[in-house]
Structure 1
Amino acid sequence: MTHSGRTALVTGASSGIGAEFAAQLAARGDNLVLVARSLDRLESLAAELRNRHGVRVDVIGQDLTDVDAASRIANELAALELSIDVLINNAGFGSAGRFEELAADREQDQLMVNVVALAGLTRRLIPGMLERGSGEIVNVASIAAFQPSPYFATYAAGKAFVLNFSLSLWSEYRDRGVKVLALCPGPTETQFFDVVGTRKAAIGPSMDSAAHVVRSALRALERNRGYVVPGAGNFASAHLMPRRPRTLVARIAKLVTRGVADAANQGAARTAA
């Protein structure tokens, strides 16, 4: 499949699912704008993709915890005279542990990246897509979006926002030429769990590959599915839990996740040492 002339913006593009999105989009002929804090890694990936696929790749170094991150990125795009046809809101990170013990500033940063920057960038880029009558947006959520997750309270709640936000926009724009997809992967082989601080946070049937997750997302986006949970086991995990009463769901979820808090604390203690 070739999409010559289109430009895709990928946040959190320096590693993991974001880097895989960049690779697969470049392979189909899309030009790229890569966004992350780590300029060195972005420049290295950009050079590799230019050489391998002959596409244009621009990089924007931006910390998405900044309150004006979305407007800064929009200004950079205007300076580059670029219109974005495909937006991949991939950047994000998680935390695990007892909520009162987690660093307050880190929890706020998590919401700024996972929720505020994602919504802000979507808001700034979607008018141009509507004006052109076409566009695609992928917002990376998680299977954690489908239920409350004790000891992942901030992360799961933020991803629930991403899922419902994306489905709302999917419904708004599905007849106006813009496709919106919530990508809800299960545990995936990336650096995510290094940031969380424990591999025990990988709750799910099995660890998926970033390549499979991205292929699943692009297929679902082409079909305008609204959301996708890659992997049969992950799909079952996301959908078989009863939705009511919500307090019962939260109590059951705690039985599954309660080992994570101790593991996260032990990981933090080792890091401090």
Structure 2
Amino acid sequence: MDRRLCLITGASAGIGAEFARQYAALGWDVALTARRKDRLEELATEIESKYGVHAICIVQDLARANSADKILSTLSEQDRHVDALVNNAGYGLPGTFFNTSWKSQAEFLRVLYTAPIELAHKVLPGMSDRGYGRIINVASLAGYAPGSNGHTLYASVKAGLIKFSESLNAECEALDGADIHCTALCPGFTYSEFHDVNGTREQMKSMNKRMWMEAGPVVKAGIDAVNRGQPVVVPGVVNKGLATLTRLMPEPLGRAIMRRQSRTIRRQD
């Protein structure tokens, strides 16, 4: 198969589905993985019809310890390798650290942190052998912000993905003759199912519309950045301003502001 293949996790909706559409529009085949088979198949049909590329559906739950191996094994059985990896799967875990079970927290860590890093680790050797690769880790503007009351691990995981992406991109730059890059994409509030799933849609309705972005420009910013070899990208003027502000603001002030805003943007029950 001459076309390159992009593997996208959490591809059934929102930012993940938009990544699939944009890579397909660039002439790439796509491997779509998520838990909802019907949504994946619907997206695959749309992409194949509109762009004339091949879409592979892989139903898998990243909370399971062997999920990464199963995804890559499915592709290997079809004689395909991963040229680009988009680690997009994720969700917000409502509540506080105290009122949620360890099982829920452990699954959250697996889906949003361990699985993306495992997938990156397992596709990189092939990328190195072929001298080409792209890895986009969908982090968040929350990775720059002080920790909030509620959704306790979200910001720390996203901050970890940012640092991981920076380090991995530096390692890839050191590979002689290789065109391999890793980027952390750090969107702010983006129209998707994210806030419906974590139960904060009503809180979000009260926010200024200028705080929101459509998935299309967010995804394009990520693809453009990884092709440039840019380790971190924050899409949107408002989000760039907020990211800069959080770095310049005195830490005690930042924490105080986040404490006041937590009930607006985080569900704690």
TM-score, normalization by structure 2: 0.90
**Corresponding residue number in structure 2 for 1:197:** 199
Rounded to whole Å, the distance in 1 between the matches of 2:260 and 2:140 is 19
**Corresponding residue number in structure 2 for 1:40:** 38
**Corresponding residue number in structure 2 for 1:211:** 216
Q: Which deviates the most, 13-22 or 144-153?
A: 144-153
**Residue identity in the other structure for 1:25:** Y
Rounded to whole Å, the distance in 2 between the matches of 1:165 and 1:114 is 13
How far apart are 1:246 and its partner, in Å? 4.8
CA contact (8 A) 1:196 1:264 kept: no
- Compared CA separation, residues 101 and 225, structure 1 to 2 (3 A): same
**Corresponding residue number in structure 2 for 1:232:** 237
CA contact (8 A) 1:179 1:221 kept: yes
Rounded to whole Å, the distance in 1 between the matches of 2:126 and 2:105 is 32
Alignment of 1:100-111 (within 5 A): 100-111=98-109
Rounded to whole Å, the distance in 2 between the matches of 1:244 and 1:10 is 35
How far apart are 1:240 and its partner, in Å? 1.0
What secondary structure does 2:222 align onto?
helix
Q: Kindly, what percent of the aligned residue pairs are identical?
A: 38
Alignment of 1:118-157 (within 5 A): 118-150=116-148, 151-157=150-156
CA contact (8 A) 2:144 2:247 kept: no
Alignment of 1:24-173 (within 5 A): 24-150=22-148, 151-173=150-172
CA contact (8 A) 1:242 1:249 kept: no
What secondary structure does 2:212 align onto?
coil
- Compared CA separation, residues 21 and 180, structure 1 to 2 (3 A): same
Rounded to whole Å, the distance in 1 between the matches of 2:248 and 2:170 is 22
How far apart are 1:258 and its partner, in Å? 3.7
Q: Which deviates the most, 88-97 or 246-255?
A: 246-255
What secondary structure does 2:137 align onto?
strand
TM-score, normalization by structure 1: 0.89
Deviations 1:169-203 (A, max 9, x none): 01110243211010000010000001111133687
Rounded to whole Å, the distance in 2 between the matches of 1:139 and 1:76 is 22
Rounded to whole Å, the distance in 1 between the matches of 2:154 and 2:238 is 21
Rounded to whole Å, the distance in 1 between the matches of 2:101 and 2:199 is 13
How far apart are 1:247 and its partner, in Å? 5.5
**Residue identity in the other structure for 2:130:** R
What secondary structure does 1:35 align onto?
strand
How far apart are 1:161 and its partner, in Å? 1.1
Rounded to whole Å, the distance in 2 between the matches of 1:118 and 1:201 is 27
What secondary structure does 1:48 align onto?
helix
What secondary structure does 2:134 align onto?
strand
Rounded to whole Å, the distance in 2 between the matches of 1:17 and 1:153 is 23
**Residue identity in the other structure for 1:181:** T
What secondary structure does 1:99 align onto?
coil
Gap runs ≥5 in structure 2: none
Alignment of 1:170-181 (within 5 A): 170-176=169-175, 177-181=179-183
Report the count of equivalent residues: 261
**Residue identity in the other structure for 1:187:** F
CA contact (8 A) 1:139 1:183 kept: yes
How far apart are 1:220 and its partner, in Å? 1.3
Rounded to whole Å, the distance in 1 between the matches of 2:12 and 2:264 is 31
CA contact (8 A) 1:148 1:157 kept: no
**Corresponding residue number in structure 1 for 2:15:** 17
**Residue identity in the other structure for 1:152:** H
CA contact (8 A) 2:188 2:239 kept: yes
**Residue identity in the other structure for 1:255:** R
Q: Which deviates the most, 97-106 or 65-74?
A: 97-106
Deviations 1:133-163 (A, max 9, x none): 1110100000001133212321111111111
